[in-house]
């Protein structure tokens, strides 16, 4: 069965702390994504990666960085957490496809981060 696992379901951090959100997929997918979801704003893409050691900025990369050292793992890093980064963070993966046929996105259960 397809599985995307996010390391922490709930985190509480203080302003200025460094935060790591880990995501692991067991489907050998090339593509991995980090989104945040906020009420009224929907899902917004932070960063994505199509290959190991490769990363691309999404729509809202400011304040975030990512790391993809292995195909199955995609980490989201908040260098200095701020209160406006309080949100639900969702990791997703998909199989690489070409042409107009984009693979289905499989999401993890989400990590709810609160920054005090």
Residues near other proteins, by CB under 8 A:
31, 33, 40-43, 45, 48, 50, 58, 90, 96-102, 104-105, 107-110
Which distant-in-sequence residues (6+ apart) come within 8 Å of 12 by Cβ?
113, 114, 116
Q: Which is nearer to other proteins, 58 or 63 (CB)?
A: 58
Q: Using alpha carbons, list the distances in angstroms from residue 27 to 19, 86, 111.
A: 26, 29, 20
Q: Looking at beta carbons only, is 17 or 22 nearer to other proteins?
A: 22
Spatial contact of 27 and 2, defined as CB atoms under 8 Å apart = yes
- With tokens 């990369």, the residue in question is 61
Pairwise CA distance, residues 111 & 89, whole Å = 5
H helical segments located in the chain: none
Shortest distance, position 15 Cβ to other proteins, whole Å: 26
Query: What is the closest distance, in whole angstroms, from the C-beta atom of residue 46 to other proteins in the complex?
Result: 11
Closer residue to other proteins, CB minimum distance, 79 or 109: 109
Shortest reach from residue 42's CB to other proteins, in Å: 3
CB of 1 to other proteins, least distance (A): 13
């Amino acid at each position: 069965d397809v599985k995307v696992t996010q390391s922490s379901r709930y985190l509480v951090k203080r302003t200025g702390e460094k935060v790591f959100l880990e995501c692991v997929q067991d489907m050998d997918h090339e593509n991995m994504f980090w989104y945040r979801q906020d009420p009224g704003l929907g899902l917004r893409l932070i960063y994505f990666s199509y290959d190991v050691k490769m990363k691309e900025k999404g729509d809202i990369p400011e304040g975030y960085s990512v790391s993809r050292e292995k195909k199955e793992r995609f980490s989201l890093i908040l260098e200095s957490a701020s209160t406006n980064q309080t949100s639900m963070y969702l990791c997703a993966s998909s199989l690489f496809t070409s042409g107009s046929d984009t693979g289905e996105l499989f999401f993890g259960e989400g990590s709810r981060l609160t920054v005090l």
